């Protein structure tokens, strides 16, 4: 079950391009890499540093905590080439929502049986494209979809998506998708009448789920649907537990706690040997912490800040220069670019200055804005910062999920470019995979530290993601 075994069965690592990324030390600091990149820049354009090792560590973490559940990475979360290439190489499956995503994933050598078309409402032309690509596993949650599939792709293997909302989630999804449990008997009856092949159940508790009981609840509900389906003559063999797992640099303890509850529930309702294949659709879990955005201050002015609508915490007590009107900073990525996550993903972003400042440095009430001409383009309406200058750089950690994938070039501002880097030990792992030597590390040094620090116990303190993690390498 090792990482390398998984990688060997996929495309040749040699051809993957992963060896071409610049090497960094295992304990590298994003700050140092950022400084190095900036020193070589000819313009002040914003950029991302992508830690390939962080994604591999997440993969290992998944294998360790949810070994029975196959991840199908949710492409929508971050569809950059470096992410898709790595996922393809790691041997994970893919959750695609459109023909475009299916095509893109297939370009990385991924076979159709590693893809689930997880969009309950698909257009006819996209369904035909899925059929042409041989992607036959797909979700539905309404009877109109069943009639459509009967017409366009009658041999498809269908998964009924049920509604299973978490009490708390960053992005609840149940308002748009998921059949209410009471409707499922009707849907199965329609499918049976149409002679369609329904093979299992899926759910999504909501993206950025912070309700630990949501997964066990949904798994129990799925069990009831399996039993009902069996009475109706179906032979279900697949459970898809969706996404919703945390991915920030300090979220590994929260993930392990969530995973231990999921394991318990799966062992009770879908034990090993039950013949049910378990899959999932994690997105932000894999990519959030791997991406750090680095922006440059391109403008500064002073203005009264009272008029700025406050919707984030300003960070508490400090020396904030009471008589000062406030500093407005303009950086070269904004809500029409990477920071669309503030609007669409309800993300709270954190600014870290590239250069340290002394403890006694005076702090001022400030706001941070994107580069476009729209006043909606506000990144931080109220934050305390030292006095910064045009040309200073600001880092934004945990920017891998639902950022680049929905960024636009509105107003002519380019998308921030990517600088993937690969830590030495991870490159060595990939290399030994290529060489097929016997001396293969079972897991990376980072995971070894992480495993001993996060554990598997159920009584762990969640503390709102404030637990420290060795992945905090900013």
Indicate the SS3 state at residue 79.
Answer: coil
Residue selected from 117, 285, 336, 339 as contacting ligand PLP according to rule CB under 6 A: 285
Touching ligand PLP, residues 293-352 (CB under 6 A): none
Instruction: Give the nearest distance from C-beta 34 to ligand PLP in angstroms.
Output: 26
Instruction: Give the nearest distance from C-beta 431 to ligand PLP in angstroms.
Output: 30
- In this chain, which stretch among 41-49, 258-266, 279-287, 427-435 interacts with ligand PLP, using CB under 6 A? 279-287
61 within 8 A of 71, measured Cβ to Cβ: no
d(CA 245, CA 95): 15
Identity of the residue, 163 or 284, whose beta carbon is nearer to ligand PLP in the bound complex: 284
Touching ligand PLP, residues 150-179 (CB under 6 A): 173
Residue selected from 114, 284, 382, 446 as contacting ligand PLP according to rule CB under 6 A: 284
- In this chain, which stretch among 52-60, 200-208, 354-362, 366-374 interacts with ligand PLP, using CB under 6 A? 200-208
Q: How many CA atoms lie within 13 A of 187 on its CB side?
A: 28
247 within 8 A of 285, measured Cβ to Cβ: yes
Identity of the residue, 74 or 229, whose beta carbon is nearer to ligand PLP in the bound complex: 74
Instruction: Give the nearest distance from C-beta 229 to ligand PLP in angstroms.
Output: 21
Q: How many CA atoms lie within 13 A of 128 on its CB side?
A: 4
Instruction: Give the nearest distance from C-beta 101 to ligand PLP in angstroms.
Output: 11
Site mask, ligand PLP, residues 226-245, x = CB under 6 A? ----------------xxxx
Distance in Å from the first CA to the final CA of the chain: 31
Residues with a catalytic annotation lie at: 373
Instruction: Give the nearest distance from C-beta 288 to ligand PLP in angstroms.
Output: 9
d(CA 470, CA 449): 7
Q: How many CA atoms lie within 13 A of 330 on its CB side?
A: 13
Torsion of CA 373, 377, 383, 385, to 10 degrees: -40
- Cα 340 to Cα 287, 370, 408: the distances in Å are 16, 11, 9
Residue selected from 24, 33, 118, 328 as contacting ligand PLP according to rule CB under 6 A: 118
Identity of the residue, 245 or 329, whose beta carbon is nearer to ligand PLP in the bound complex: 245
Instruction: Give the nearest distance from C-beta 77 to ligand PLP in angstroms.
Output: 5
- Cα 104 to Cα 124, 152, 353: the distances in Å are 19, 22, 36
Identity of the residue, 214 or 450, whose beta carbon is nearer to ligand PLP in the bound complex: 214
What region does 121 belong to: left with phi over 0, alpha with psi -120 to 50, or beta?
A: beta
Does 215 sit near ligand PLP (CB under 6 A)? Answer: no
Residue selected from 77, 278, 331, 395 as contacting ligand PLP according to rule CB under 6 A: 77
Touching ligand PLP, residues 347-386 (CB under 6 A): none
- Cα 442 to Cα 4, 63, 72, 447: the distances in Å are 8, 12, 22, 10
Structure-token pair, residue 181? 């449990």
**Residue closest to ligand PLP, measured at CB:** 243
102 within 8 A of 115, measured Cβ to Cβ: yes
Instruction: Give the nearest distance from C-beta 345 to ligand PLP in angstroms.
Output: 9
DSSP 270-336: S-TTS--EEEE--SHHHHGGGEEEEEEEEEEEE---TTSPP-S---S-----TT---EEEEES--TT
Site size toward ligand PLP (CB under 6 A) is 17
Residue selected from 60, 95, 249, 398 as contacting ligand PLP according to rule CB under 6 A: 95
DSSP 165-226: --SSEEE--TTTS-B-GGGHHHHHHHHHHHT-EEEEEEE---EEE--TTHHHHHHHHHHHHH
Indicate the SS3 state at residue 121.
Answer: coil
Instruction: Give the nearest distance from C-beta 245 to ligand PLP in angstroms.
Output: 6
- The counts of H helices and E strands in the chain are 14, 19
Residue selected from 101, 281, 377, 398 as contacting ligand PLP according to rule CB under 6 A: 281
Identity of the residue, 159 or 454, whose beta carbon is nearer to ligand PLP in the bound complex: 159
- In this chain, which stretch among 21-29, 31-39, 187-195, 203-211 interacts with ligand PLP, using CB under 6 A? 203-211
Residue selected from 53, 93, 178, 283 as contacting ligand PLP according to rule CB under 6 A: 283
Instruction: Give the nearest distance from C-beta 75 to ligand PLP in angstroms.
Output: 9
Residue selected from 78, 207, 265, 366 as contacting ligand PLP according to rule CB under 6 A: 207
Binding site for ligand PLP (CB under 6 A): 74, 77, 95, 118, 173, 204, 207-208, 242-245, 281-285
């Amino acid at each position: 079950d090792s990482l390398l075994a998984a990688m060997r069965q996929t495309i040749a690592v040699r051809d993957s391009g992963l060896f071409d990324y610049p090497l960094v030390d295992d304990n590298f600091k994003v700050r140092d890499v950022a400084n190095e990149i900036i020193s070589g820049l000819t313009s002040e354009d914003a950029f991302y540093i992508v830690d390939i090792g962080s994604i591999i560590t997440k993969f290992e973490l998944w294998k360790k905590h949810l070994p029975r559940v196959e991840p199908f990475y949710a492409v929508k979360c971050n569809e950059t080439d470096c992410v898709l290439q790595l996922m393809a190489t790691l041997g994970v499956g893919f959750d695609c929502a459109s023909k475009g995503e299916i095509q893109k994933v297939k370009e990385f050598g991924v076979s159709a049986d590693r893809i689930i078309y997880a969009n309950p409402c698909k257009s006819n032309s996209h369904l035909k494209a899925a059929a042409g690509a041989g992607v036959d596993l797909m979700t539905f949650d309404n009877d109109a979809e069943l009639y459509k599939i009967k017409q366009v792709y009658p041999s498809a293997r269908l998964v009924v998506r049920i509604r299973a909302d978490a009490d708390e989630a960053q992005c609840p999804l149940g308002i748009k998708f998921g059949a209410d449990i009471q409707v499922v008997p009707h849907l199965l009856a329609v499918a049976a009448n149409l002679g369609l092949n329904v093979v299992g159940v899926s759910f999504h508790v909501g993206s950025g789920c912070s309700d630990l009981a949501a997964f066990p609840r949904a798994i129990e509900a799925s069990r009831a649907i399996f039993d009902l389906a069996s009475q109706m003559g179906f032979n279900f063999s697949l459970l898809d537990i969706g996404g919703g797992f945390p991915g920030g640099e300090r979220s590994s303890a929260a993930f392990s706690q969530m995973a231990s509850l999921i394991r318990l529930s799966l062992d009770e309702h879908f034990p090993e040997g039950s013949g049910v294949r378990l899959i999932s659709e994690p997105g932000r879990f894999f990519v959030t912490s791997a991406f750090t955005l680095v922006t440059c201050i391109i403008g500064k002015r002073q203005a009264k800040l009272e008029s700025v609508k406050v919707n984030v915490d300003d960070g508490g007590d400090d020396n904030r220069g009471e008589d000062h009107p406030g500093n407005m900073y303009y950086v070269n990525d904004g809500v029409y670019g990477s920071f669309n996550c503030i609007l669409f993903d309800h993300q709270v972003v954190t600014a870290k200055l590239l250069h340290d400042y002394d403890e006694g440095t005076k702090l001022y009430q400030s706001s941070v804005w994107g580069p476009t001409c729209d006043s909606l383009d506000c990144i931080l309406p109220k934050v305390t910062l030292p006095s910064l200058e045009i040309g200073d750089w600001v880092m934004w950690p945990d920017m891998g999920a639902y950022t680049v994938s929905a960024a636009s070039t509105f107003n002519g501002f380019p998308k921030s470019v990517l600088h993937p880097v690969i830590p030495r030990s991870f490159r060595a792992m990939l290399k030994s995979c290529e060489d097929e030597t016997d001396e293969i590390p079972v897991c990376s040094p980072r995971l070894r530290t992480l495993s001993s620090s996060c554990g598997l116990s159920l009584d762990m303190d969640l503390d709102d993601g404030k637990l420290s993690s060795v992945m905090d390498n900013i």
